[in-house]
Structure 1
Amino acid sequence: MTSLVSESAHAVVRAAERVLAKRYGVTVRLTDPENLGGSGQAIVLRVRVSDSPIRLSRTLVIKQMHNADGASANGIAQALGVGDGHAEGFVREAVSYQFANSLATRHRPGPELLAHDLDQRLLILSDLGDVPTFENVVTPDTTGMSTSDSTTNVLMGVAQSLGRMHAATAGRSEDFGALLRRARASMSPYVPADTMRASVNNVPQLLSEVLGVATPPDIQHKVAEFSDILQGNSFRAFSPGELSPDNIVVSSSGIRFLDYEWGGFRDAVLDLGSILVSFPQCSYDLGLTPEQSASMVDAWRAEIATVWPQLLDDDVLDRRLLAARTVWVWLSTAWHLPEDHLRRALERDAGRPLAPRRALASRWAGLFQAADAVGDHALAEHAAAVMDALRQTDSTPAMRLP
């Protein structure tokens, strides 16, 4: 990371000092800003606390979302179907951190929110330090598989941390909604789903036009029923909203989740399913073995067992996980199968240059395995047909079904 000396960076630091002064009633001096990156309209800085009459950590993190008048909503905002993605994203993130602050430390999913200003779209957070991201730690080998014991331990740790967060927040959507209202926001505490459902409904036409694969009516009907999980209320808990390899960090104190721009409440199984399909919004492939997937499910289930004992029934959980996996694979297809040169450029900049169709082929292969395992042979057959079509249109080495 490089030190920033630009006027804009120093302006953010001065704004953070004023927010801290308003929050704590004292003067805090922040120096030595470093650029930690950020995406889209966000600027993220690490600063040193050089003078403070109150006890603060030696370093803090400042995140400010720039105003984006006239700018289009970012990608995930478009996927979720919200208009001013930057404005809603900031409010959701601020409220998500406030909500997380109310949890016991061991259940808190990410850094602590120290102060914020809604009008300036500015957050001041505790600093987790220079810790590796999930992407840094979990790297598939030359066979495309992530098979080492250390990798498996990290995967189980992520699933366990998700389960711990879900168990601690189950049934607390009204608390989240109250915080939204305090922030003068009229948005729902639930993660938006209408546009995602519409994207799922468009996949059969996309498969037909791009790959020449027909989707039988019974499969379309089944997936429409599976899509109910996007708005399901049986197993709702807090979710960061957009899990990805670069916003999960692996530290000595445990797994932490960053970036809550689309935080809210949804069916907790969707979070677990999104990792099992290798983060559907990314061109990424974890190369999970069936054993690793099973270990992750077991680690997650152990944490939520007392809250949702129904999910101790293998048939109940397997069916719900199949619904989550199916919805994510179909959504990923809607997002990645059409040619999108801007998305590809962003993926390359993020260090994830995997061809979208290779990532999709892996996801459809995983869906085949999951459907076949529970005896849903029609869904498995359709998944295999899509995977074969993707393989034939991709120049990368062929994938084989087990």
Structure 2
Amino acid sequence: MTVDTFDEAQDARADSPDEPGHSVEAAVAAGETVLAGRFGAPIALVEPELLEGSGPATVVRARIVSSPFGLPRTLVIKRYPPAVPGVPDPFAQEAVSYQLFTALSAEDRMCPELLAHHGPSRVLVVEDLGHAPTLRDKLYGSEARAAERSLLSWARSLGRMHATTASREADFDALLRRLGGPVKERMGWAQTTGLACERLPGRLEETLGVSASGAVRSVAAAAWERSCSSAYRAFSPVDLSPDNNLVTSGGVRFLDFERGRVRNALIDAAQLRVPFGSCDGALALPAGMSDAMIAAWRAEVSGIWPALADNDVFSAHLLDHQLVLVWVRTWEILGDRREPAAALVTWWRDLADYAGRGGAEALAEYAGDVSAALDKRFGPGLSLPLYPAFR
């Protein structure tokens, strides 16, 4: 089936959005058509199951009736609505992310395999990893050991993802360009972090009465510059929420690349120290867990980035990105007028602790003052609770 006949088939299958089951049926129809175009023969899908997701796509699991092409028994179809002008396209980001990983060997592929896709119809068909639990399931379960093993597996998988994509930025950009996506996505991150690092001290002084010295502002500006540098760049899913990670027998596998891009990998590594800090509803991990996760991540990337094997160099980089993550999240939360509650108190308290260990005395004092002021205003006695598995 040619691209032209694919488009004709899609037009012929279009039905009214008011029809019951429209989204599921349309996704299955699109999946059948894109598979036929990819493999050159009809492939019937049955028993569709709508899967929950936080993104804009309709996500459906379906079973293949029969196939001569060695395809898995079930697969997942993602059908996206039209792109919104002026907004990064989640279909393009995800399609290119899967293409990047599908070109790797199976052992280096930290996600489902891309089986077929079609840009004009905004459809992806990917391997179904089954009903494996998510990392969130483990963290909200009742077995601490199982949660600990899953977190370490997640950190190793994240490190391997970074190590195997560290030299693939040009490939990612080329693929994204073919789908019409904005290649220089990094500018958005640079602008957001730059704005936060420059203006957050003023907002905190206004809100909490805590002023930042020139030394603290200089440390934040330098951390921002290093987070935007060309060093240590690799692919990132960006959305590292625990429910986007499946705990399989072969290790943790990442799902949902709707914001996937190449950026400084240490921004992701900082979330091992500020667990899932970019996600709403993040909780805390027990003492020592973050250090163990960081060691697992570091073991995977030190071969590709030998400088990170030096403890002083690595600690300085990690503190930089911890600062950036905490400042950006604080800027976002205060800007949305959400109650910071225990999360910000804990993150700033931890930043003060790690800054003190790293000899950044001015930053340690400032972070401690911010944490205390937040606790005084919204507490007192606030502390982020542990994930249920560790209580």
RMSD: 2.3
Equivalent in the alignment of 1:375: 359
- Asked whether the equivalents of residues 242 and 276 of structure 2 are also in contact (C-alpha less than 8 Å), the reply is yes
User: Could you say which residue in structure 2 is the equivalent of 1:112?
Assistant: 113
CA distance in 1 between counterparts of 2:162 and 2:55 reads 29
SS at match of 1:375: coil
Answer whether contact 2:272 2:293 (CA < 8 A) is retained.
Answer: no
1:383 Cα offset (Å): 0.9
Q: Which residue of 2 aligns with 1:215?
A: 212
- 1:158-197 alignment, distance < 5 Å: 158-188=154-184, 190=186, 192-196=188-192, 197=194
Aligned-residue offset at 1:69: 5.1
1:57 aligned counterpart, secondary structure? coil
Residue 56 in 1 paired to residue 40 in 2?
no
Q: Paired residue for 2:51?
A: 36
- Describe the SS at the equivalent of 1:35: strand
1:292 aligns with 2:295: no
| Contact 1:244 1:279 (C-alpha < 8 Å) held by counterparts | yes
Aligned pair partner of 1:267 in 264, 269, 272: 264
Any conservation in 1 of the 2:345–2:382 contact (CA below 8 Å)? Answer: no
Q: In the aligned structure 2, how far is the partner of 1:250 from the partner of 1:84?
A: 32
Taking structure 2 as the reference length, the TM-score comes to 0.87
How far did 1:160 drift? 0.9
1:341-396, Cα deviation, whole Å (9 max, x unpaired): 7xxxxxxxxxxxxx642111111122112111111121111111111122122247
SS where residue 393 of structure 1 aligns? helix
In structure 2, how many angstroms separate the alpha carbons of the residues matched to 1:254 and 1:161?
7
Alpha carbons of 1:186 and 1:283: their partners in 2 closer, same or farther (altered >3 Å)?
A: closer
TM-score by length of 1: 0.84
Distance 2:363 2:141 in 1: 28
Q: What is the alpha-carbon distance in structure 2 between the residues aligned to residue 115 and residue 356 of structure 1?
A: 43
Shift of the 34–191 alpha-carbon distance from structure 1 to 2, 3 Å rule, reads farther
**Does structure 2 retain, via aligned residues, the 8 Å contact 1:230–1:267?**
yes
Between the aligned partners of 2:187 and 2:115, the Cα distance in structure 1 is 25
Q: Are 1:359 and 2:374 an aligned pair? A: no
Amino acid paired to 1:259: D
Structure 1 position 84 matched with structure 2 position 62: no
Q: Which is further off, 48-57 or 305-314?
A: 48-57
- Provide the aligned length of Structure 1 versus Structure 2: 365
Equivalent-residue separation in structure 2 for 1:276 and 1:248 (angstroms): 18
Q: Distance in 2 between matches of 1:186 and 1:319?
A: 32
Q: Deviations over 1:51-86 (max 9, x none)?
A: 33322111111112212658xxxxxxxxxxxx313x
Q: 2:187 and 2:147 mapped to 1: Cα distance?
A: 30
Counterpart-to-counterpart distance in 2, 1:251 and 1:177? 30
Structure 1, unmatched stretches of 5+, are 71-82, 142-146, 342-354
Structure 1 Cα separation of the partners of residues 140 and 352 of structure 2? 24
Match of 1:46 in 2: 61
